[in-house]
Amino acid sequence: MSELLFDLSEKNRKGYTLPQRRVPQKETNKLIPNEFIRKQPARLPEVSENEVVRHFIALSRLNHHVDKGFYPLGSCTMKYNPKINENVANSACLKDLHPMQSTRLTQGALALMYELSEYLREIAGMKAVTLQPAAGAHGELVGLMLIRAYHENQGNPRQNILIPDSAHGTNPASVTISGYSAVQVKSNEKGLVDLEDLRSKLDENTAALMLTNPNTLGIFETQIAQINNMLREVGALLYMDGANLNALLGIVRPGDIGVDVLHFNLHKSFSTPHGGGGPGSGPVGVSEKLIDFLPVPKLTKNENEYCWDYDCPKSIGRVHSFYGNFGIMIRAYAYIRMLGSHGLKRVSENAIINANYLMKELESHFQLPFAGPRMHEFVLSGSKQKEQGVSTAEIAKRILDYGFHAPTVYFPLIVREAIMIEPTETESKQTLDRFAACMIDIAKEVENNPEMVKNAPHTTPVSRLDEVRAIRQPDIRYNFDNT
């Protein structure tokens, strides 16, 4: 493996020159109280500019990323980030703003945020949107807090949130953190919510159903109207996890199918970056009855001026410092403006066509659980290959040898040896064909040369990592004293 920047460090080497001082020098200890002054200088690597550049370029070549090759993780992880989004976000008039500046000096930024929330509102058919949540899971938590505030206002916060067994793991986690209990609802033989099971678990203690639509199998929940009626009968709300919104842009508006709370993932559906855990952005849209509970401050428009409204007595309060991750909002705004309403619809149409094309290419080589067309993604089962002694994990490793990233594996949990594939709208037919050929090759190898798959990857910078040790004994701190 390559050396760390610390290993490259040479005393007194540097990659910067400070400008000449134009103010009188003052002693640090006259400016900062003694207890806050470092006793030892920070142990930063001392390297020149070209060393830093070469270091990170070398690392990026060892890595796989969406600028380097196709990854079938799709919008589930992050869509391709068009470079113009970066240009817009890096313009000096936006990136040098400070959130403490007065609203008089930041009307442009507020206009951008206001318009972005209006676009999201229109796209999803919701009545109001908050941009504050920091990412998807935070959006879920905020959505659940809104649901609790609504029910508390009705006199009883209720206890349970129902979640289908195909849901993302963040759903039950957010439910638990918000103080509710997660109750699992089964899927039926079509991969949809089992209405009988839903009915048996639905009562006056149910605060909401948390539904992903299309679900994680890539199947649209066609019984949504019936589900909605069942929820209304007991006064429960409908939460929609917007993880799969990439399939619905310009086609279905969640607000029109009765959704009360929806969280968006700007990195999944609106092409913002989300590398290395953030920053992200997870706006939340609500129906009429939840508007009063939205976080403060709310961005409003008075005649010709945008301003912050803190006077919302029923609000759940603030959920993020300042107003959310503004830099990410800029990118989503640029994306929506670049595509327009027709372009956004074509995004979803192409995402759906690409997924179904790949599914047709692969369904005779792998097992395909549940019948029928899919939306923007599909889930294969590697159970046929598992019976021949090769696991999905090994197939995923072999895919790396072909220069692709592996798809999501072993999720959703209701499919054995699951292989979840989401190509997204940006991939060409040629790329899809190359990926299909790779998967078909591997299926043949499982039959004719299984050892090749079981010992993969063969061409990556490192082969099998010790995942157990990585989890149990993580070594994440540079040991200065041993050098």
Helix (H) / strand (E) element for 114: namely helix 107-124
Q: Is residue 472 a contact point for another protein (CB under 8 A)?
A: yes
With CB under 8 A as the contact rule, the residue among 35, 189, 467, 481 that binds another protein is 467
Print the binding letters for residues 348-387 with another protein: x by CB under 8 A, - otherwise: ----------------------------------------
Smaller CB separation from another protein, 58 or 413? 413
Smaller CB separation from another protein, 90 or 181? 181
With CB under 8 A as the contact rule, the residue among 471, 481, 482, 483 that binds another protein is 471
To another protein, the closest distance from the beta carbon of 336 in angstroms equals: 36
CA distance 253 to 300: 24
To another protein, the closest distance from the beta carbon of 182 in angstroms equals: 11
**Beta-sheet pairing, 418-421 with 408-409:** antiparallel
CB contact set of 238 (below 8 Å; sequence gap of 6+): 208, 209, 211, 227, 228, 231, 258, 259, 260, 261
CA distance 127 to 403: 44
Q: Is residue 342 a contact point for another protein (CB under 8 A)?
A: no
- For the chain, give the number of residues: 483
To another protein, the closest distance from the beta carbon of 71 in angstroms equals: 19
CA distance 128 to 118: 8
Smaller CB separation from another protein, 32 or 413? 413
Among 94, 149, 154, 136, residue whose Cα is nearest residue 296: 149
Q: Is residue 104 a contact point for another protein (CB under 8 A)?
A: no
21-50: contacts with another protein (CB under 8 A)? none
In the chain, what's the furthest Cα-to-Cα distance? 77
Q: Is residue 11 a contact point for another protein (CB under 8 A)?
A: no
Print the binding letters for residues 157-196 with another protein: x by CB under 8 A, - otherwise: ------------x---------------------------
Q: Cβ–Cβ contacts within 10 Å for residue 49, how many?
A: 10
To another protein, the closest distance from the beta carbon of 363 in angstroms equals: 24
Tell me how far the alpha carbon of residue 101 is from its chain's centroid.
30
Smaller CB separation from another protein, 23 or 468? 468
Smaller CB separation from another protein, 1 or 468? 468
Q: Is residue 410 a contact point for another protein (CB under 8 A)?
A: yes
Contact criterion met (CB below 8 Å) for 170 and 335: no
CB contact set of 433 (below 8 Å; sequence gap of 6+): 361
To another protein, the closest distance from the beta carbon of 464 in angstroms equals: 11
Which token pair is 298?
Answer: 């709310």
Smaller CB separation from another protein, 115 or 165? 165
**Binding range to another protein, per CB under 8 A, among 93-101, 288-296, 331-339, 467-475:** 467-475
With CB under 8 A as the contact rule, the residue among 409, 438, 440, 452 that binds another protein is 409
Q: Is residue 464 a contact point for another protein (CB under 8 A)?
A: no
Q: Cβ–Cβ contacts within 10 Å for residue 409, how many?
A: 17
Smaller CB separation from another protein, 8 or 393? 393
Give 18: exposed, middle or buried? Use CB within 10 Å, 0-12, 13-18, 19+. Answer: exposed
To another protein, the closest distance from the beta carbon of 471 in angstroms equals: 4
CA distance 309 to 360: 52
With CB under 8 A as the contact rule, the residue among 183, 312, 393, 440 that binds another protein is 393
With CB under 8 A as the contact rule, the residue among 413, 433, 444, 461 that binds another protein is 413
Smaller CB separation from another protein, 23 or 471? 471
Q: Is residue 475 a contact point for another protein (CB under 8 A)?
A: no
CB contact set of 270 (below 8 Å; sequence gap of 6+): 79, 264, 331, 332, 335, 336
Q: Is residue 474 a contact point for another protein (CB under 8 A)?
A: no
Q: Is residue 438 a contact point for another protein (CB under 8 A)?
A: no
Print the binding letters for residues 110-149 with another protein: x by CB under 8 A, - otherwise: ----------------------------------------
Please give the radius of gyration of the chain, using alpha carbons only, rounded to the nearest integer.
Answer: 25
Q: DSSP character for 262?
A: E
Tell me how far the alpha carbon of residue 128 is from its chain's centroid.
21
Q: Is residue 18 a contact point for another protein (CB under 8 A)?
A: no
Sheet holding 284-286, edge to edge: 128-130, 284-286, 261-263, 237-241, 206-212, 160-164, 181-185
Q: Is residue 476 a contact point for another protein (CB under 8 A)?
A: no
Cα dihedral angle (223, 225, 229, 235), rounded to 10 degrees? 100
CB contact set of 257 (below 8 Å; sequence gap of 6+): 213, 224, 225, 228
To another protein, the closest distance from the beta carbon of 9 in angstroms equals: 34
To another protein, the closest distance from the beta carbon of 163 in angstroms equals: 14
To another protein, the closest distance from the beta carbon of 204 in angstroms equals: 23
Smaller CB separation from another protein, 80 or 411? 411
Q: Is residue 468 a contact point for another protein (CB under 8 A)?
A: yes
Q: Which residues bind another protein (CB under 8 A)?
A: 169, 393, 409-411, 413, 467-468, 471-472
